Chains A and B, each alone.
Chain A
Amino acid sequence: MSAPEPTFMSTSSPRSIRRRRMGTVFAVLCGAATMVGVVSLAVLLVDVALDGLPRLDIDFLTSFASRLPERSGIKAALVGSVWLLVLTALISFPMSVAAAIYLEEYAPRNWITRIIQTNIANLAGVPSIVYGILGLALFVRFLGFDRSVLSGALTLSLLVMPVIIMAAQEAIKAVPGTIREAAYGLGATRWQVVSTQVLPMALPGILTGTILALSRAVGETAPLIMVGAVGFIAFTPSGPMDRFTVLPLQIYNWVSRPQDEFRALAAAGIVVLLVLLLTMNAIAIVLRNRYQTRS
């Protein structure tokens, strides 16, 4: 029997070398592409930090915006953002969860349900500025809420509701069917099953999704511009009908000024905004992990 050729199945055969080289090139290409995202993020964060951290101090957090950059601060914007956040959460959360419960536990599998479902998916993809237009026409003008925190909160609620509904649906779907069966088997009504079994189990997932959706809302600017939040607010809201401003809007205002000092202010404002978002996301992740390990 003849012995196999020296390059039989060998890594040093020309075909083998060529294929491996192409493979390495491709792998490096994919890795490099991944790095584009990572490096961009790093550069962005470093750029913002370098510009903003020097300007960040207690005065900044406790002063109102002013025409003079040295005396400007984001107190109004920060408080406004928090107001908006809480109000939006209060409005959007119950309705979204209710809608999700309906879709997952009550809705029959017919065309009406399908339309509602597709509609929600479509709404999630509508640009945020369109919600601003709707908010302007409906809440500010038609319902007469004018340029208030309430208008802003209602507008943002419309924006985040589809996202929360979809996240809540996922969380409810994840509850095992056996739990429901056991409860039904004991003679519980549908609402009892939902309120005593399904909802408690799905709640951490729902909360995580809600916090993530709300963190998106915190960063929104365009819809709020449309409903009249403006940059020159020198007070904090004391009621839902007051005028207001939010962090992103204040940042936008400062960015629009050509002077360098305002750039630094903008960067400092961004740092505060990012810290707020980071906190919210961290809470969401902690929630997710804690309840994942438990179950």
Chain B
Amino acid sequence: MSTTYDIDTEGRLPALEARDVSVHYGDNEAVKKVSLVVPSKRVVALIGPSGCGKSTLLRCFNRMNDLVPAARVSGEVNFRGQNLYAEEVDPVEVRRRIGMVFQKPNPFPKSIFDNVAFGPRINGYEGDLDALVEESLRQSALWEEVHDRLGDSAYALSGGQQQRLCIARTLAVKPEMVLMDEPASALDPIATQRIEELIYELKKDYTIVIVTHNMQQAARISDYTAFLYMGDLIEYGPTETIFTNPREEQTEAYITGRFG
């Protein structure tokens, strides 16, 4: 059983629209015909118990699953009206436009500056790199802490700072959408809070889809929430509704902690 509410895209073209997306690993179907609409400049949270397919689904949105030889993706993912999985689409370009922040901070073993500058450099950026790096670090609320030591190794930063660096790195290539795969799960509560505040700020300019196993987090920062279970989309709608008045029994059971 599955319920999807009408998503109010407020007159704008939805950032992303998934239609009957399925992912197979060999015989195992990790994601089963999921359809949902991601409105522009909003935060959508994907929640569900471990192994329910939410990370796998997220990785369909920027074709990261292409890198796993065993994975087979079917269905459509329409980004600004164009199907990402169409023949003539270059996955490398997709990933520049749809950025990703990972669960464990993974800065490159380079300086702070070079980490943020990496994306623009490989994409042929010819403008003022210093200004771009500063802008990205300001956007990820890290500038104040590192502006005088941009040449230091990224590994000198704390976990929370590294994650904000990764966010700055992602923003530096000016994506339109940012995917976040449990970005705060490896961080302490204070760092987590800073990341959440950051997401709240970022949604003014970016569309964000975030996978989280932390329900309170989803309730705090997202506008829309999708609940997945065993590869199926069980319920998808405005966050408030999902958390206070879910229609599906399974949703309610998960929300109230009866399983997961």
Please give, as numbers and ranges, the residues of chain B lying within 8 Å of A3 by CB-CB distance: 81
Evaluate whether A1 and B13 lie within 8 angstroms (CB atoms) in the complex, with A8-B82, A15-B124 already known. Answer: yes
CB distance from A28 to the nearest CB of B (A): 19
| Chain B residues with a Cβ closer than 8 Å to the other chain, count | 15
A16→B92 contact, CB < 8 A: yes
Please give, as numbers and ranges, the residues of chain B lying within 8 Å of A8 by CB-CB distance: 80, 82
Please give, as numbers and ranges, the residues of chain A lying within 8 Å of B93 by CB-CB distance: 9-10, 13, 15-16
With CB as the reference atom, state the residue of chain A lying closest to B93: A9
- Whether B258 is near chain A, meaning CB under 8 Å from some CB there, is no
- Whether B94 is near chain A, meaning CB under 8 Å from some CB there, is yes
B81→A4 contact, CB < 8 A: yes
- Whether B149 is near chain A, meaning CB under 8 Å from some CB there, is no
A11→B89 contact, CB < 8 A: yes
- Whether A256 is near chain B, meaning CB under 8 Å from some CB there, is no
- Whether B152 is near chain A, meaning CB under 8 Å from some CB there, is no
CA distance A11 to B91 in the complex (A): 8
B88→A4 contact, CB < 8 A: no
How many residue pairs link A and B with beta carbons under 8 A? The number is 34
CA distance A8 to B96 in the complex (A): 12
Please give, as numbers and ranges, the residues of chain B lying within 8 Å of A1 by CB-CB distance: 12-13, 81
With CB as the reference atom, state the residue of chain A lying closest to B13: A1
B82→A16 contact, CB < 8 A: no
- Whether B240 is near chain A, meaning CB under 8 Å from some CB there, is no
B79, B80, B90: which has the most chain A beta carbons within 10 Å?
B90
B92→A4 contact, CB < 8 A: no
Identify which of residues 1-31 in chain A touch chain B, using a CB-to-CB cut-off of 8 Å.
1, 3-4, 8-13, 15-16, 19-20
Evaluate whether A9 and B89 lie within 8 angstroms (CB atoms) in the complex, with A1-B12, A1-B13, A15-B124 already known. Answer: yes
CB distance from A15 to the nearest CB of B (A): 7
Which of B79, B81, B92 meets A19, CB within 8 Å?
Answer: B92
CB distance from A10 to the nearest CB of B (A): 5
- Whether B97 is near chain A, meaning CB under 8 Å from some CB there, is yes
Please give, as numbers and ranges, the residues of chain A lying within 8 Å of B92 by CB-CB distance: 16, 19
Please give, as numbers and ranges, the residues of chain A lying within 8 Å of B90 by CB-CB distance: 9-11, 13, 16, 20
CA distance A183 to B26 in the complex (A): 43
Which of B12, B13, B82, B124 meets A9, CB within 8 Å?
Answer: B82
CB distance from B138 to the nearest CB of A (A): 28
CA distance A8 to B81 in the complex (A): 11
B12, B92, B94, B124: which has the most chain A beta carbons within 10 Å?
B92
CA distance A257 to B93 in the complex (A): 64
CA distance A20 to B90 in the complex (A): 10
CA distance A11 to B90 in the complex (A): 5
Please give, as numbers and ranges, the residues of chain B lying within 8 Å of A12 by CB-CB distance: 88
Please give, as numbers and ranges, the residues of chain B lying within 8 Å of A19 by CB-CB distance: 92
B80→A4 contact, CB < 8 A: yes
CA distance A20 to B89 in the complex (A): 13
A9→B94 contact, CB < 8 A: yes
CA distance A4 to B93 in the complex (A): 14
Quick one: CB contact mask for B19-56 with A, threshold 8 Å, 1 for yes?
Answer: 00000000000000000000000000000000000000
CB distance from A3 to the nearest CB of B (A): 6
CA distance A226 to B152 in the complex (A): 55
Interface residues of chain B, those whose CB is within 8 Å of chain A, are 12-13, 79-82, 84, 88-90, 92-94, 97, 124
A sample of 14 inter-chain contacts (CB < 8 A) reads A3-B81, A4-B82, A8-B80, A8-B82, A9-B84, A9-B94, A9-B97, A10-B90, A11-B88, A11-B89, A11-B90, A12-B88, A15-B93, A16-B92
New contact pairs (18) apart from A8-B82, A10-B93, A13-B90, CB-CB < 8 Å? A1-B13, A1-B81, A4-B81, A4-B82, A8-B80, A9-B79, A9-B82, A9-B84, A9-B93, A9-B97, A10-B90, A11-B88, A11-B90, A13-B93, A15-B93, A15-B124, A19-B92, A20-B90
> What are the 7 tightest A-B residue pairs by CB atom distance, in nearest-first order?
A9-B93, A11-B90, A1-B13, A16-B90, A9-B89, A4-B80, A11-B88
